[in-house]
Amino acid sequence: MRAIVQDALGGPEVLKLAEIDKPEPGPTEVLVRVKAAGVNPTDWKTRASGGLLGPPPFRLGWDVSGVVEQVGFGAALWKPGDEVFGMLKYPEGAGAYAEYVTAPSRHFRKKPESIDHVQAAAIPLAALTAWQALVDTGGLKGGERVLIHAAAGGVGHLAVQMAKARGAYVIGTASAAKHEFLRGLGADELVDYTTTDFSGTVRDVDLVIDLIGGDYGLRSLRTLRPGGTIVSLALSRLDPTLHEQAAALDIRDESILVEADQAGLKAIAALVDAGRLRVEVAAALPLEEAAKAHELGETNRTAGKIVLICD
């Protein structure tokens, strides 16, 4: 099969198209013919630094939408021909930039019927990140106020919609050029981080979703009410004093990595098919242009997600 491989750390040019052996599904696994694979910031960060995968060689990509081709021993959930989408185990399950992947059958759900494979491939990692931050960890309820940083990004624009679907009042930080896009997704209040310090204007927030890290976490503490929660996702840029300062203000702070989660995917798919969650696809490129996809993503100018077409 064709796959994108990486033998050295570096820029996008280290991503190479190669012919490698097609995998075989083990017990409780399925073999999926990949129609499309999502590209996420963790992909290009791992490409450059090794991240949680360590030194190369390795293959990238965790988002998959495709068709089940073969079912391993003991896996009864899916049959050949089923259209599925899901997230490979993070981080060690990477390898979605390919024509085929194997993974545990319960890492997949039925692809939402209302969208195509390109849109479906853009959803799993980003949407599960948003869901696990807002719902599983943050416990967001209707009527609460949530502040979402990097609200126009891949995770952020999905988090905005999920929060609105749960009846929350949504405040987002984003450049002014992306405010109209976010209002269209339901954001109630927006702060242009290039001109305004959100910590001086936003108050009485119940939950903060911090996708940026650095001093954003500390400044976000000023926006939270006592008893509120901050969920940090940029773990490599987490301020080491955040926990202590949050505790002093009676604020709960949590740091999470996204996990494969079939129940979360089921809830996300239901929102998609109900028309309450849509993914913005900024670009869809063929598999062999993975390097170009990374170059585009690293500009930080895209609103939404980038997808590779693998079939």
What is the tens place of the pLDDT at every residue in 24-75? 999 999 999 999 999 999 999 999 999 999 999 999 999 999 999 999 999 9
The strand pairing partners of 210, in sequence order, are 232
Going by CATH, does the domain composed of 2-123+279-309 fall within 3.30.450.40? no
CA distance 296 to 73: 40
Please give the structure tokens belonging to residue 262: 């079939």
**% of the chain exceeding 90 in pLDDT:** 96
Per-residue model confidence (pLDDT) at position 184: 97
Cβ-based burial of 9 (10 A; exposed 0-12, middle 13-18, buried ≥19): middle
Output phi, psi for 12, to 5 deg.
-55, -25
Q: Counting Cβ atoms within 10 Å, is residue 173 exposed (0-12), middle (13-18) or buried (19+)?
A: buried
pLDDT > 80? residue 108: yes
**Whole-angstrom distance between the N-terminal and C-terminal Cα of the chain?**
11
Average pLDDT of the residues in 126-135: 98
pLDDT of residue 303: 77
User: Is residue 267 over pLDDT 90?
Assistant: yes
Q: Which residue has the higher pLDDT, 171 or 301?
A: 171
Nearest CA-CA partner of 105 in 36, 33, 38, 26 = 26
Q: How far is CA 82 from CA 66, 149, 228, in A?
A: 8, 36, 42
Q: Write the DSSP assignment of the chain as a string of letters.
A: -EEEEESS-SSGGGEEEEE-PPP---TTEEEEEEEEEEE-HHHHHHHHH-GGG-SSSB----EEEEEEEEE-TT--S--TT-EEEEEPPTTTT---SBSEEEEEGGGEEEPPTTS-HHHHHTSHHHHHHHHIIIIIIT---TT-EEEETTTTSTTHHHHHHHHHHTT-EEEEE--GGGHHHHHHTT-SEEE-TTT--GGGT---EEEEEESS-THHHHHHHTTEEEEEEEEE--GGG--TTHHHHHHHTT-EEEE------HHHHHHHHHHHHTTS----EEEEEEGGGHHHHHHHHTTT--SSEEEEE--
pLDDT at 296: 95
Confidence band of 276 (pLDDT split at 50, 70, 90): very high
* Closest to 140 measured CA to CA, from 217, 203, 229, 223: 229
Residues 6 or more apart from 240 whose CB is under 8 A from it? none
pTM of the complete model: 0.96
- Per-residue pLDDT, 236: 85
**What residue ranges do the domains of the chain occupy?**
2-123+279-309, 126-255
Longest Cα–Cα distance of the chain, Å, equals 58
Residues linked to residue 34 through DSSP beta bridges, in sequence order: 66
The architecture CATH gives domain 126-255 = 3-Layer(aba) Sandwich (3.40)
Q: Report how far Cα 158 is from the mean position of its chain's Cα atoms.
A: 9
84 closest CA partner among 41, 31, 23, 40 = 31
Look-up of token digits 């954001």: 187
